[in-house]
Amino acid sequence: MKQVFKRPESLIDVPAHFCPGCHHGIIHRLVAEQIDQFGLRDKTIGVASVGCSVFMYDYFDVDVLESPHGRAAAVATGVKRSRPDNFVFTYQGDGDLAAIGTAEIIHCANRGENVTVIFVNNTVFGMTGGQMAPTTMPGQVTTTTPFGREVATAGYPIKMTEILATLGGTAYAARVAVCTPKHLMKAKKVLKTAFQYQMEGRGFAFVEFLSSCPTNWKMDSIRANQRVIDEMIPYFPLGVYKDVAAVEPESPADE
């Protein structure tokens, strides 16, 4: 019988601690699949960030360095410059990358550091208990926006992929989702390109994953998944925003 699905070898066979319905597990698997497919397990150095994502070192069977909060892109810069032949990726949430780590990610991209950044956007600080993130939607209730995010005083959800796509050092910037099989297949393709570009030395590659956080959204898994489709995708349109190798630029909202 032909085996059509198996756990990636780069993913350690342990039960995940993530909440039911959280997309981190799926995204972990997609990243591990690419590590396997490119045969990168023994030359990968992962950079973990602060938040739920820090525990990537419990799941990825590769060398991992833990970064201070928000600094993963600077840490990855130090790693990659010292070890240019290794495959280096960061795995960061929106509280980490889009708030305290904004300066580090922008300048890492602008220098064209040859690293791959996995950015998981679930519109909330997950690990600390559901506070407002820069990506929190207008009107969204969190523990620090008990009356809903008021854009007049708390600003607007920040669109990191669009921002990073404007920078000269960015080789690839795309936003994907994993809320349906169709979205997941597209995400795989995008992730493959983001891996490929690092190996070709093209520069900074960035993939934003829209993710659910049922616990902090106070929804069941199915409703949380649906929220990604109904609320997040319209505000954070999916697509490839920059691709230095593209013959013709792909329309950002190509979904």
Q: Pick from 16, 19, 25, 57: which binds other proteins (CB under 8 A)?
A: 57
17 binds other proteins, rule: CB under 8 A: no
Q: What does the block give as tokens for 25?
A: 């597990």
User: Counting contacts by CB under 8 A, is residue 109 touching other proteins?
Assistant: no
CB of 80 to other proteins, least distance (A): 8
**Binding flag, residue 61, other proteins (CB under 8 A):** yes
Number of residues that this document lists for the chain = 255
CB 145 within 8 A of CB 116: no
Closest C-alpha to 70, from 48, 46, 45: 48
Radius of gyration of the chain (CA): 17
Residue range at the interface with other proteins (CB under 8 A); choices 41-49, 123-131, 181-189, 191-199:
41-49
The CB-of-100 to other proteins minimum distance in angstroms stands at 10
Q: How far is the CB of 26 from other proteins (least distance, A)?
A: 22
Q: Should residue 243 be labelled a site residue for other proteins when binding is judged by CB under 8 A?
A: no
Please report whether residue 97 would count as binding other proteins according to CB under 8 A.
no
How many angstroms separate the CA atoms of 112 and 190, rounded?
19
* Contact yes or no for 174/190 (Cβ under 8 A): yes
Query: For other proteins, which is the closer residue by CB, 142 or 198?
Result: 198
Count the site residues for other proteins by CB under 8 A.
36
Contacting residue, 29, 107, 188, 223, with other proteins by CB under 8 A = 107
Nearer to other proteins, 46 or 134 (CB): 46
Cα–Cα distance for residue pair 47/185, rounded to 1 Å: 25
Nearer to other proteins, 62 or 171 (CB): 62
Contact call for residue 38 and other proteins (CB under 8 A) = no
| DSSP string covering 209-254 | EE---HHHHT--HHHHHHHIIIIIHHHS--EEEEETT-SSPPPTT-
SS3 76: helix
Quick one: which of 33, 94, 96, 104 contacts other proteins (CB under 8 A)? 104
Question: CA 198, CA 201: separation in Å to the nearest integer?
Answer: 5
Residues contributing to the site for other proteins (CB under 8 A): 41-45, 47-48, 54, 57, 60-68, 71, 74-83, 86-87, 103-104, 106-107, 111
